[in-house]
């Protein structure tokens, strides 16, 4: 794909993620604009376009794919549609930015990568934690050797069942494996596993067990996993989405030869806790600026203009899908 002077976006699927996380960053970033937004519901598409100052809206995918002015497509639909839409966008010559998780399966990810390579268009995935200031700070602390050589990483995530999840389980795509690839593990743990890939490199072994303990929706609500990185760092994780509120937790702990650090994956601000024998205890509080995807989208725009490189690609995004497949397909 030839470099562009300005990135003109077509958005497919203007749901919750587009309200504050992504689309506002696209039309607020220099050399970037949103021309058309698509939803299947015409009333909602028109309302979204009006509220966000977007000139065009449609219910017809072809209006985006056949528009020569649009050179990049953002896919913000459920994961089960990502592969099909990415392939169509690539065949239309558009750069593709797709929401996470990248697709329902690793094999679908490979088909997306193949289509974009054949069409000579770039493929990006919305793993924006790779660009947030707090997560960059964790990477810097590790690379500076403050906690020494990394031995082990552990993820703990406990969330209580939410009444609205139970009441709307039949229409909530996140807990429908046919639409999301799994349950809240695929929705949330994908961010965590991708970030660990960013920190430590490729995970080469992974396995896990899961179950549906509460029985409030179709997908499994508890997952336990172990994994190993290519540099022999060992990892483990436990995710429970039907815990009591007293057990609520969101923490990644990294153990090194000289100390340890921990931080929360979600929530704002991000709290980084560092414990070393040499320096004692330190704590950093770093607030993420909004829109949350603006740093990644800025880098995507830079890459499409030939002025930078996005840290989150189809290739890196597919690695996370491979890990989730290994953990849940036992």
For the chain (330 residues), the mean pLDDT of every run of 10, in chain order, is 96 93 97 97 96 97 98 97 98 98 98 98 98 98 98 98 77 92 97 98 98 95 98 98 97 98 97 95 97 98 97 98 94
pLDDT value of residue 233:
98
Joined tokens for residue 185: 């593990």
Per-residue DSSP letter, 80:
G
Domain boundaries, the chain: 7-127+300-308, 133-287
- pLDDT digits 0-9 by tens, 190-234: 999 999 999 999 999 999 999 999 999 999 999 999 999 999 999
pLDDT value of residue 210:
98
- Cα–Cα distance, 259 to 253 (Å, whole number): 11
pLDDT value of residue 167:
67
pLDDT value of residue 330:
67
pLDDT value of residue 151:
98
Compute how many other C-beta atoms are within 10 angstroms of the C-beta atom of residue 141: 20
Joined tokens for residue 32: 């970037």
| CATH number for the domain running over 7-127+300-308 | 3.40.50.720
If DSSP codes are grouped into helix, strand and coil, which group holds residue 130?
helix
DSSP 233-266: -EEEEEEESS--GGG-EEEEEEEESSEEEEE-SS
Residue labelled with tokens 């690539």: 90
Nearest to 46 by CA among 69, 187, 37: 37
Tell me which CATH homologous superfamily contains domain 133-287.
Dihydrodipicolinate Reductase; domain 2 (3.30.360.10)
pLDDT value of residue 163:
78
Q: What is the 3-state secondary structure (H, E, C) of the chain?
A: CCCCCCEEEEEECCCHHHHHCCHHHHHHCCCEEEEEEECCCHHHHHHHHHHHCCCEEECCHHHHHCCCCCCEEEECCCHHHHHHHHHHHHHCCCEEEECCCCCCCHHHHHHHHHHHHHHCCCEEECCHHHHCHHHHHHHHHHHCCCCCCEEEEEEEEECCCCHHHHHCCCCCHHHCHHHHCCCHHHHHHHHHHHHHHHHHCCEEEEEEEEECCCCCCCCCCEEEEEEEECCCCEEEEEEECCCCHHHCEEEEEEEECCEEEEECCCCCCEEEEEEECCCEEEEEEECCCCCCCHHHHHHHHHHHCCCCCCCCEHHHHHHHHHHHHHHHCC
């Amino acid at each position: 794909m030839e470099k562009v002077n300005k990135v003109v976006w077509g958005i497919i699927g203007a749901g919750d993620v587009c309200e504050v996380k992504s689309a506002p960053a696209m039309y607020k970033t220099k050399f970037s604009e949103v021309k058309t937004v698509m939803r299947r519901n015409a009333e909602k598409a028109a309302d979204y376009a009006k509220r966000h100052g977007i000139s065009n809206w449609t219910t017809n995918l072809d209006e985006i794919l056949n528009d020569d002015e649009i050179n990049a497509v953002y896919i913000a639909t459920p994961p089960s549609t990502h592969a099909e839409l990415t392939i169509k966008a690539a065949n239309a010559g558009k750069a593709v930015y797709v929401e996470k998780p990248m697709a329902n399966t690793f094999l679908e990810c490979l088909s997306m990568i193949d289509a974009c390579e054949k069409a000579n268009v770039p493929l990006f995935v919305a793993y924006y934690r790779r660009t947030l200031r707090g997560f960059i700070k964790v990477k810097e602390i590790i690379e500076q050797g403050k906690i020494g050589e990394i031995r082990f990483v552990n993820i703990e995530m406990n969330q209580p069942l939410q009444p609205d999840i139970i009441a709307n389980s039949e229409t909530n795509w996140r807990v429908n494996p046919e639409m999301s690839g799994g349950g809240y593990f695929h929705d949330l743990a994908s961010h965590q596993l991708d970030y660990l890939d960013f920190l430590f490199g490729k995970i080469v072994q992974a396995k896990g067990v899961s179950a549906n303990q509460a029985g409030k929706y179709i997908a499994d609500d508890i997952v336990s996993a172990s994994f190993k990185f290519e540099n022999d760092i060992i990892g483990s994780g436990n995710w429970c989405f039907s815990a009591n509120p007293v057990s609520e937790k969101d923490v990644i702990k990294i153990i090194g030869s000289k100390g340890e650090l921990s931080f929360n994956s979600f929530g704002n601000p991000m709290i980084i806790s560092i414990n070393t024998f040499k320096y004692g205890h330190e704590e950093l509080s770093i607030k993420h600026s909004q829109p949350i995807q603006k740093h990644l989208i800025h880098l995507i725009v830079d890459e499409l203009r030939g002025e930078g490189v996005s840290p989150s690609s189809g290739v890196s995004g597919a690695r996370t899908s491979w890990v989730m497949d290994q953990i849940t397909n036992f």
